[in-house]
Homo-oligomer: A and B are copies of this chain.
Amino acid sequence: MDKGRPIGVFDSGLGGLTVVKEIKKILPHEDLIYLGDTARLPYGTRSGETVIKFSFQDARFLLKKKVKCIVVACNTASAYAGSRLERKIKIPVFGVVTPAIKKARSFSKKGKIAVIGTRGTIISGAYQFLGIACPLLVPLIEEGEVKGKLITQVAERYLRPLKKKRIGVLILGCTHYPLIEKIIQRVVGKGVSLINPEEEVVAELKNYLTKNKLLNQSKDPGKARYYVTDLTPNFQRVAEMFLGEKLEGRIKKVSIE
């Protein structure tokens, strides 16, 4: 495997840009190829069968771009298709679910573990813990509702039942949730440790690339290329919200069906 090849990242949409942001921070010399399936997002409301089909199309697109490994940034894709992709794709595949489970277990002395996610992620059962589906959080966050009364009200409604369960650890099982981390922390209480799967998967990725001598040896900052399946009207605003910076470089619309 050529260590100079880019790392591939795919997501149902633009939320996976949080993973790109984390890779840029932790592995600044790596080149990146990002695919957001914006023509068919969200994955979180679809059946497992459809999410698996879409995820394989996403992965095959990245394979054609000659990436050295693939990060599945979308929790729902990772939950339904993660292990299948690992088995069938010939290069290493890193889903967000497994590293988050490991991290959560390392905190298990703190109390019970729970996870919040899309309906798909929770139904899949991939996260093996007490799960609560929070379907309204994604649309609210995509509309820029990351603080204020409305999002707080909805978060409280979903999360309040957790307070009676005495949980010690809560996995933020969707790329969008870290954007409202403070609100979530306030609702569940300071004592609960929040796990961000995006950080965990990038830590695992770094570990793997280091051990297997696959780190890019360049001294220059890595370059990122972005592909989407639809340039939606909302695209720029939402992308920059997740990436935390202006979206530089080439953004190209592609068809992957």
A154 to B153, CA, bound (A): 12
Considering the complex, give the chain B residue whose CB is closest to the CB of A41: B45
Binary interface encoding of chain A residues 37-79 relative to chain B, with 1 for a CB under 8 A from any of its CBs, else 0: 0111000011101100000000000000000000000000000
Interfacial chain B residues near A231, Cβ < 8 Å? 47
CB distance from A158 to the nearest CB of B (A): 11
Q: Is there contact, CB below 8 Å, between B230 and A50?
A: yes
CB distance from A131 to the nearest CB of B (A): 13
Q: Does A135 belong to the interface (CB within 8 Å)?
A: yes
Considering the complex, give the chain B residue whose CB is closest to the CB of A124: B233
For chain A, the count of residues having a C-beta within 8 Å of the partner chain is 28
Q: Does A251 belong to the interface (CB within 8 Å)?
A: no
One of A88-96, A105-113, A136-144, A164-172 contacting the partner: A136-144
Interfacial chain B residues near A149, Cβ < 8 Å? 153
Considering the complex, give the chain B residue whose CB is closest to the CB of A50: B230
Which one of B38, B46, B119, B145 lies within 8 Å of A39 (CB-CB)? B46
Interfacial chain B residues near A50, Cβ < 8 Å? 39, 229-230, 232
With A40-B39, A153-B150 known to touch, is A233 a contact of B136 (CB < 8 Å)?
A: no
A residues in contact (CB < 8 Å) with B: 38-40, 45-47, 49-50, 119-120, 123, 135-136, 139-140, 143, 145, 149-150, 153-154, 229-234, 257
Interfacial chain B residues near A135, Cβ < 8 Å? 139, 143
CB distance from A146 to the nearest CB of B (A): 14
CB distance from A175 to the nearest CB of B (A): 17
CB distance from A123 to the nearest CB of B (A): 6
With A40-B40, A257-B257 known to touch, is A232 a contact of B140 (CB < 8 Å)?
A: no
Q: Is there contact, CB below 8 Å, between A119 and B47?
A: no
A234 to B47, CA, bound (A): 9
With A39-B50, A230-B50, A233-B120 known to touch, is A143 a contact of B136 (CB < 8 Å)?
A: yes
Q: Is there contact, CB below 8 Å, between A150 and B139?
A: no
Which one of B119, B140, B232 lies within 8 Å of A234 (CB-CB)? B119
